[in-house]
Every structure is written in structure tokens, then in C-alpha cells.
Amino acid sequence: MANTQAMCTSFKGEILSGIHALGTTVIRAGTGADTLKAALYLASATVNASTTAYSATGEVSGSGYSAGGVTVTNATAPTTSGTTGYWTPSASFTYTSVTLTTAFDAVLVYNSTQSNKAISVHTFGSQTITAGTFTLTMPTSDATNALIRIA
Amino acid sequence: MIVTTTHGEMDDSLLEKREGGVDNDNESTVWVEYWLAGELVHRSAHVSLKRAAVSISKIGGFNG
């Protein structure tokens, strides 16, 4: 046998489930599942890895769209495969009967329960919607394709 | 087929339909537009994300 330096794969999945609190105090309140949301951002906005929380600045606006975006369906627990922890929402993000005339090209996934803290930003080709529906379909939830992966 | 437009619900036989899309490493997207006398009255889009947000984990060692 030999020892191998590694980050334990189970830890990667448990991070996504909020199992560990590595700081000096436990900041997290409550033990229930968090409510996540998905907000759309204009192509002219700046949301990226430095984004720490949801902000209405740069968010799309228009008929049928509620500030803050839509609630994410997260019925599937994070899991691991190989050495990767991963998670994918269990349903598409759907913005129904909206008119968004200014081009947008990003969605921010954030934690509405935990002070709107940011989770991830996903970009796509610029879109506008006129009296229609905008749908973001999730990738296959596996170690290669899942929406959020810790490899 | 009935289409929701900026003028309310209309039969698609009255409208000009335009479709398109892109397929690249990041996304597979399809969109559909309906036009009435040169006016865009409906546009929907469906984006399938392909590229995930990935964080590569690293740990420190004691042996340099």
C-alpha cells in the first residue's frame, strides 16, 4: 500500500451539500435545502468569477420578467463520480411570456436563502425575446457535463 | 397553430416564420421568430448549455 496526497472526492460532493464549515464560526443558518435562483444579465453587464452576490445592476428587465429571475428546481442531490463532485438543476430554467428587447447573454445562479450569494455564471450567445419564451436546458448531470463540477 | 404575439394571439398562417440556431462547444441554440408585415411580433429561444462551470481543486503539501 502507499499513501497518495489528494483532496478526498467525498469532500467535493459534501462541499456542494454544505456539510463542511471550515471557518472559525459556522455562518450557515438553518438545515433545510436552500432556494436557488437564476437571473439573466444584459450583454453589456459584468458578471463573472468576481461576482459575489446577485445584483439588479445589469439584470434584464421587461414585460413578464421578475427581478431576481426564476427559482431553480434542485431536486437532485450533489454527488460524485470518479474524482469529481458535481450537481445539475433537475429542470430547465424557463422564462415564460417575456419580452426582453435588450440583448442578454448570461445567467447567474445564486443562493436566495444565503443572502443571494453567487454560485456560478453561464454565458451563451446574445438573445432577445419578443412575446415569447426563453429556455435554458441543463446539460447531462454527470462528471463530464454537469452544470457545476469540482474536479 | 396559435402564436402569442405583441398583438395578442394570432394564427401562424398570417405570419412569416423564421428559424435559426447555433451549435458550438458552449451551446446548442434554436430560435424562432414570427413577423407581421415587416414587424417582429414573436421571438423565442431555447439554449442547451454544454459547458459547465468547473473548479479544479488543489491542495498544498508539506514536502515542497
| A89 found inside a domain | yes
Structural domain includes residue A3: no
- Look up residue A80 and give its three cell numbers: 460524485
Asked, for residue A76, whether it belongs to a domain, the answer is yes
Chain B partners of A130 at a C-beta cutoff of 8 Å? Answer: 6, 33, 40-43
* pLDDT tens-digit readout, A80-125: 999 999 999 999 999 999 999 999 999 999 999 888 999 999 999 9
What's the pLDDT score for residue A5? 77
A12: pLDDT confidence band, cut at 50, 70 and 90?
confident
ipTM, two decimals: 0.89
| φ and ψ at residue A75, rounded to 5 degrees | -85, -10
Q: For the segment B12-62, what is each residue's pLDDT rounded down to a tens digit?
A: 999 999 999 999 988 999 999 999 999 999 999 999 998 777 778 777 877
Q: Which pLDDT belongs to residue A55?
A: 96
Average pLDDT in the A4-30 region?
80
In 3D space, the residue among A70, A64, A146, A137 whose CA is nearest the CA of residue A108 turns out to be A70
**Chain A CB within 8 Å of residue B52 CB:** yes
Let me know if residue A68 belongs to a domain.
yes
- How many structural domains compose chain A? 1
CA-nearest residue to B7 within chain A is A131
Residue A75 forms part of a structural domain: yes
Q: Which three cell numbers stand for residue B23?
A: 451549435
In angstroms, the separation between the Cα of residue B11 and the nearest Cα of chain A is 15
Burial pattern B9-33, b for ≥16 Cβ within 10 A else e, equals ebeeeebeeeeeeeeeeebebebbb
A32–chain B nearest CA distance, Å: 25
> Domain limits at A89?
9-23+33-150
* Rg of chain A on CA atoms, in Å: 17
Instruction: Tell me, yes or no, whether A56 lies in a domain.
Output: yes
* Cα–Cα distance measured from residue A82 to residue A22, given in angstroms and rounded to the nearest whole number: 24
